Structure 1
Amino acid sequence: MIPNTLPQSLVDNPLLSDWVGFEQDGKVRVSTGKVEIGQGILTALVQIAAEELEVSPGRIRAVSGETSAGPNEGVTAGSTSVAMSGAAIRLACAEVRALVLAHGAERLGVPAESLVIEDGRLRRGGRDTGLDYWSLAAQIDLDRPATGSASTKSPTQYRVVGTSLPRIDLPAKIEGRGFIHDIVAPDLLHARVVHRPWQGARLVSLDEAAVRRATGLPVDIRREGDFVAITGDREFAVQRAALAARDKAAWEGGTPLPDDTNSPGWVLAQPSRSRVVDTGTPPAREAGEVVAATYWRPFQTYGSIGPSCGLAALSDGHLTVWSHTQNPYALRDQIARCLGLAADAVTVLHRQAAGCYGHNTADDAAFDAAFLATRWPGRTVRVLFTREDEFLAAPMGAAMVIGLSAELDADRRPARWTIDIASPVHSNRPGSHGHHGFRSREALPDPPPQPAVRNDNPDAAGGGATRNGHALYDLPFHRMIHHTVDPIPLRTSSLRGLGAFGNIFAIESFMDELAEAAGQDAVAYRLSLLSDPRARAVIEAAAAMCGWPGAGPPGEGRGLGLGFGRYKNRAAYMAVAAEVEVDEAVRLVKIWGAADCGLVITPDGALNQLEGGIIQAASWTLKEELRFAEGKVATSTWEDYPILRFSEIPEIELRLVGDRHNPPLGVGEAAMGPTAAAIGNAVARALGTRIRSLPLSRERIMAALLA
């Protein structure tokens, strides 16, 4: 169950009215600062609220990510929404229920213990009392701090939590009105931005006459500094003009990128700052054999099917912004900062779009729309990115060079373990490190100063490059060396899982290599180094599901592999097994997964998150890497940057093995690293040789086969 203590979200937003309100039509308003990005979080939060308030889920109206009407819960990231917002909503709703019962009991002159609430109505002895939430709401002041003292329901009492309800966000999406792209306004002004090709590039010329000829319809071309935007009433005309402007713009200066940017050598050649974190006691004497290996995770991007979109309108001095940002309050604050406005003169309203699971261009599109709205007051400006914009202008998932070494004792177990991580920072969201985070603001005249990045995300907050860098195994001495690669002429930021994807891939691949060096079974070797019963349980479950160890000797073109991780070493436990066939490329045959998520609010939602994570991780592992040419990102279409196709998705079998009496654990990123490791280990067995650099592409496989 969720601990009955005040979570940080309630400390930061203490008033009960921040979270709950009763509306005239028999609805209950439940507000959250967390936002829907495809993970089904709003459905889960509605279930938690309905459970504690004793109302049907259909009575709940969820308000999400609106700076004018909800709590500030920071960024929706890190697989923390249920643990943070869910815990706050649970306690707030329990306290509201207790206040209503106490007030109703006073009105009726009966003990509060004699009353129950059924779908919002107070009943006593099986009879309706004539009182309900809505008739009593005006008499109860919810503008009071939450105390966390109200009794919450135990899992044995749950009727809504733990069931799979239909997703509340799907009807509107199916009907074509659920996405930010579907927003229309009578005064809509369409806009496209011509992005700089690389950091610091200066616009030396733009043939505006040629751009106007290319469209043949009225458009406005706005140039301020190195920022160029095309606006007009006809979207088709604006789009054609923007495409022409890309070809007619001449750029110079700045920091063009070399073709080998996406390589370990380039990353290691950049400036860096280093630190060492030791855990445990080093062995008193030198151990025996040393096993070492180096792994590579490339720069990657988000691959959202829908491009980013933002809308903004300036009216009577107040700026309203519609965005699919993951942090509405930070977006509001940084837009206000960059446009010289007071924070209370800006409202950000979250509206859903294609899921991104990381810092994509949603905030950039929102800023572009906000800036242009100040140049077109009284109009609703709509900025839409193109596919090429997404590849060129988006922050990148940071590349990682991960070195591992282990000194083995007499039993062939690690006596001294070292992980050496070199990577750029993994978070540059608006507000991170004091940065505004907007690409276009740097192109405008007189950009505000961007403070130097001192460190990546702190380890205590889950880390950035170091996320899951500390192996969960029972290691007597663990050394982590972290090289923050900075500054670099690239904008890197949060991509699903941050450093956990690369670190778990490396650690779990290395664990297979250690098992091989010890002459032991890979699963048995892991279990010999694990005392955590929940970790052991998911590994044992996944191994049983796939029929470990499977048949077939190494190098016969078919392999079974396993990977394990606990996201951030404090969220959900996950073990994944993968079976592959390999000739010139990898074919996924089947994937199995076992997860311990503690209390699961929505089983179908949790399984969808785990399955989606497996599919995205498989795509990263087998296909995805950015290319660079002519000083810039050279991948601009799905042909240049292939992602996993529907036809390539294997059968996936999942099992939830946790105890519902344990607190809920985040699931959104739990599958990423274990999936990469399972596929990598399976490919190594199928080939009889290991490929340590991602993606496991046809080119790398052919090179391994010919070596």
Structure 2
Amino acid sequence: MTNRRQFLRLGGGLAISFALPVVLLERSALVQGAEVGGRGITDAIAAGKTQDPTHVAAWLAIGNNGNVTLHAGKVELGTGMQTALAQLVAEELDVSIDNIVVTMGDTSLAVDQGPTVGSQTMKSSTLPVRKAAATARALLIARASNVFGIPADQLSTRAGRVYVTTDPNRSAAYRDLVPAEWATLTVDEAVPLKRVREFSVIGKPVPRVDLPGKVKGSHPYLQNLRLPGMVHARVIHPPITGSTLVKVDRKSVAELPGFIDIVVKRDFVAVVCQQEFQAVAASRALTIEWKTPANGIDSSAVYDAMRAANGHVDELRKIGDADTAFSQSRMRLSATYRTPYQTHGSIGPSCGVADVKHDSTVVWSATQGSFPLRDAIAALIGLPKDKVRVIWTEGAGCYGQNGADDASAEAAVVSQALGRPVRVQWMRNDEHGWDPKCPATESKVEGSVGPDGKIRSWSYMVSTPTHISRPMGSAGNLLPGRMMGLPPKPVRIGGDHCARTLYTFPNERVVVRWLPDGALRPSAMRGLGAVPNTFANESFLDELANLANRDPIDFRIAHLRDERAIAVLEEVRRLSNWISRRKQANRTGAPSREGIGVSVAQLEPGGAYVATVCSVTLDMKSGETRVTRVFVAHDCGLIVNPDGLRNQIQGCVVQTLSRTLKEEVRFSSKEMLTLDWASYPILRFSECPSEVTISLIDRPDKAPVGAGEPTALTIAPAVGNAIFHATGVRIRKTPFTAEQFKASRNV
């Protein structure tokens, strides 16, 4: 295993410069390099390509050049899904992965699979894609049987050809066997799929198909897209949520170079110029007056406001009588855990490009959900959804809902006003200030331990707003829609994820207290409510283990019946050398203390199992925490691409350590205060663990589930538990800053 320091030493003084391409209109329609039956995408649309998922042609096309195209409704977010989906087709259709093209998220071509969220891509795609490919392979064999006059069971397939098994010189290419009835071929739900022992592509480490272009600087990102006649806009966002526009002085920018227009729709304001930096200059020069909300709050008062808000309580689980059992117990604890508002912090600010005509619209977006965004933009600009096409084009990576949907919708609003193509590029302050935020949460937990050393009662209540405000076809869910006075679609989603633990308790009550949106617009961030809920649950379980004087892993296993959960705990115990490392930790008398902590979770609903052990060092004087080593045992069922999976887990560890140790959005009643990297720091390379060791538990007999989020659930509690092991200080609010450690130490 190569650790981070070894990699940096090997890299020496490596420097890379990128010459990013300018992508013209002719390229934009083919941005994913796809061909359909040997024709371009435009021809495929004109030919009326089906998007009915019950038909093979909705998923697959075989081109005259021998390439096989998969039209996926899911999109690539840096997770390697484009490669994993290609592996599924290559396996069942017996085609080289080099000949698989995966187009993604084009509402005129793709199957509507819903948004790419919740680590659901592999779970929802594996069977449909494999069945479509297997059905296609069976049809091609049947066609070859007729051509050769040989029974189908005497034919084999390999590398995009059908062979006579006993005479490989007799063969036919798939492209020559595609029948006229391909467009109407129905997916055979009972088609035999390859057995695990027959796999030659699934389960193998396949290089990411998207990385070469990204490394070379030739990959077409949305930010590089240019259309003929396109102009540039900057939207001037208000200082804080709830602000209203008082006045705009057009004269303050009217004489600036390249100025075209100002678009104002209620509280929505955008300046438009010929060139991008002209729009930047105009946005800075524009004289504009806002009225901030009279009832605004400071970020330090968030939890007081949450407790004062009227909430809707849903009971998620009730077993026995937790309140009575708690009151009758001698060994009992109560605790409150909190997590703050956080921003996605996408390194590249969001962008959107739109070309709105009176009877049709094309929007290029880095959205995670092309179809719901299409419907929301259609409602926003007043066109039927069948007149709006969204073409997914990769942008800044995102785990959750960053500003991609909003920037795209803003481009559509401005393009409609001007009647020409418009590009909206957010600035750093826009992304930090106006992407939908991971909402703050507060969890209250009570628990008791009986004379037998096992948990007797468990009571849990999380207070949270919704963790989803994605477009969902609603114009009011888009930022420009809200600025134009349109109401968002009311939902309660995500805040309850993993509020219920994997454990079995004799007396238990779990509730979620749903709150209004709160100070900032809430929406999805990696893991949704499963992250704060697992932080509270796994931290408090550790507190009860300490109360019972039990080893934290043994204590967890004693309350588990799920064999897969037990298996990841046992594996991470072995992987981390838990017993020895825990005994050797320097916890007393030294200015720098060492500790080791554990946590386990299953992403709800029905996701992967993960157990994580974190080792930390903590400076008792400064309060600074450093996570030195991370060990992860991971079970996501059938593993399609082990290299891609490891990459996912490693990235998840680093990002969630940043959220755990550093990240918190701050604001006053009048303005956002964390609008750049100085005021919202993230984990630096020098602060990353020196070692991330991963054990992948492959279960070929289980359906594959996603790996984008599960590890994120386990990081904060494992770090917090390690800090407690090292110092005896229990931190119940993230991020675990030096100031938070000192405050918790004095409690």
TM-score w.r.t. length of structure 1 = 0.93
2:611–2:632 contact (8 Å) kept in structure 1: yes
Corresponding residue to 2:376 among 322, 325, 334? 334
Q: Distance in 2 between matches of 1:437 and 1:420?
A: 27
Deviations 1:460-512 (A, max 9, x none): xxxx1110111101223331111100153431011110011111111111111
1:236-255 to 2 correspondences below 5 Å: 236-245=277-286, 248-252=287-291, 254=293
Q: Distance in 1 between matches of 2:676 and 2:682?
A: 11
Across the aligned residues of Structure 1 and Structure 2, the Cα RMSD in angstroms comes to: 2.1
Deviation at 1:587, TM superposition (A): 1.0
1:358-437 to 2 correspondences below 5 Å: 358-377=400-419, 379-431=420-472, 436-437=476-477
Q: Distance in 2 between matches of 1:338 and 1:12?
A: 26
Q: Distance in 1 between matches of 2:421 and 2:475?
A: 27
Q: Distance in 2 between matches of 1:538 and 1:262?
A: 39
Residue 234 of structure 1 pairs with residue 264 of structure 2: no
Letter in 2 for 1:154: R
Residue 180 of structure 1 pairs with residue 180 of structure 2: no
Corresponding residue to 1:20 among 43, 60, 63? 60
Aligned to 1:461: none
Question: Residues 508 and 450 from structure 1, CA distance in 2 versus in 1: closer, same or farther, beyond 3 angstroms?
Answer: closer
Q: Distance in 2 between matches of 1:110 and 1:12?
A: 33
2:351–2:426 contact (8 Å) kept in structure 1: yes
Deviation at 1:43, TM superposition (A): 0.3
Residue 680 of structure 1 pairs with residue 684 of structure 2: no
Deviation at 1:106, TM superposition (A): 2.5
Corresponding residue to 1:622 among 638, 661, 668? 661
Question: Residues 261 and 349 from structure 1, CA distance in 2 versus in 1: closer, same or farther, beyond 3 angstroms?
Answer: farther
Corresponding residue to 1:204 among 224, 233, 246? 246
Letter in 1 for 2:235: V
Q: Distance in 2 between matches of 1:12 and 1:298?
A: 43
Letter in 2 for 1:123: Y
2:466–2:517 contact (8 Å) kept in structure 1: no
Corresponding residue to 1:221 among 259, 262, 265? 262
Corresponding residue to 1:695 among 715, 730, 735? 735
1:52-63 to 2 correspondences below 5 Å: 52-63=92-103
Residue 260 of structure 1 pairs with residue 293 of structure 2: no
Q: Distance in 1 between matches of 2:734 and 2:171?
A: 65
Corresponding residue to 1:195 among 234, 237, 244? 237
Deviation at 1:255, TM superposition (A): 5.6
Aligned length: 683
Which structure 2 residue ranges, 5 or more long, are not aligned?
A: 1-49
Deviation at 1:160, TM superposition (A): 0.9
1:296–1:400 contact (8 Å) kept in structure 2: yes
1:20-59 to 2 correspondences below 5 Å: 20-59=60-99
Residue 167 of structure 1 pairs with residue 208 of structure 2: yes
Aligned to 1:146: 187
Corresponding residue to 2:507 among 460, 469, 477? 477
Corresponding residue to 2:492 among 452, 456, 459? 456
Which structure 1 residue ranges, 5 or more long, are not aligned?
A: 1-9, 458-463
1:262–1:628 contact (8 Å) kept in structure 2: no
Deviation at 1:539, TM superposition (A): 1.0
Residue 84 of structure 1 pairs with residue 119 of structure 2: no
1:395–1:492 contact (8 Å) kept in structure 2: yes
Q: Distance in 1 between matches of 2:453 and 2:197?
A: 46
Aligned to 1:468: 498
Letter in 2 for 1:645: R
Question: Residues 543 and 105 from structure 1, CA distance in 2 versus in 1: closer, same or farther, beyond 3 angstroms?
Answer: same
Q: Secondary structure at the match of 2:263?
A: strand
Q: Secondary structure at the match of 1:492?
A: coil
Deviations 1:348-372 (A, max 9, x none): 0001112111111111001011111
Q: Secondary structure at the match of 2:178?
A: helix
Aligned to 1:4: none
Corresponding residue to 1:519 among 525, 549, 562? 549
Q: Secondary structure at the match of 1:628?
A: coil
Aligned to 1:565: 601
Aligned to 2:672: 633
Q: Secondary structure at the match of 2:182?
A: coil
Residue 605 of structure 1 pairs with residue 644 of structure 2: yes
Letter in 1 for 2:316: V
Aligned to 2:566: 536
Aligned to 1:3: none
Question: Residues 212 and 645 from structure 1, CA distance in 2 versus in 1: closer, same or farther, beyond 3 angstroms?
Answer: farther
Q: Secondary structure at the match of 1:44?
A: helix
Letter in 2 for 1:131: A
TM-score w.r.t. length of structure 2 = 0.88
Deviation at 1:236, TM superposition (A): 1.1
Aligned to 1:5: none
Question: Residues 168 and 436 from structure 1, CA distance in 2 versus in 1: closer, same or farther, beyond 3 angstroms?
Answer: farther
Deviation at 1:11, TM superposition (A): 12
Q: Distance in 2 between matches of 1:567 and 1:12?
A: 30
Deviations 1:572-612 (A, max 9, x none): 11111111111121111111111112111111110111111
Letter in 2 for 1:298: P
Q: Secondary structure at the match of 2:299?
A: coil
Deviation at 1:108, TM superposition (A): 2.3
Aligned to 2:575: 545
Corresponding residue to 2:394 among 352, 360, 364? 352
Question: Residues 424 and 374 from structure 1, CA distance in 2 versus in 1: closer, same or farther, beyond 3 angstroms?
Answer: same
Q: Distance in 1 between matches of 2:173 and 2:402?
A: 45
Aligned to 2:354: 312
Deviations 1:247-281 (A, max 9, x none): x3211154663113663222212221112233434
Deviations 1:210-242 (A, max 9, x none): 3456x5553432223222111112111111111
2:656–2:712 contact (8 Å) kept in structure 1: yes
Q: Distance in 2 between matches of 1:212 and 1:283?
A: 67
1:72-151 to 2 correspondences below 5 Å: 72-124=112-164, 125-151=166-192
Q: Distance in 2 between matches of 1:103 and 1:95?
A: 12
Letter in 2 for 1:358: G
Aligned to 2:480: 440
Deviation at 1:680, TM superposition (A): 0.8
Deviation at 1:62, TM superposition (A): 0.8
Q: Secondary structure at the match of 2:259?
A: coil
Q: Secondary structure at the match of 1:231?
A: strand
Corresponding residue to 1:270 among 285, 309, 313? 309
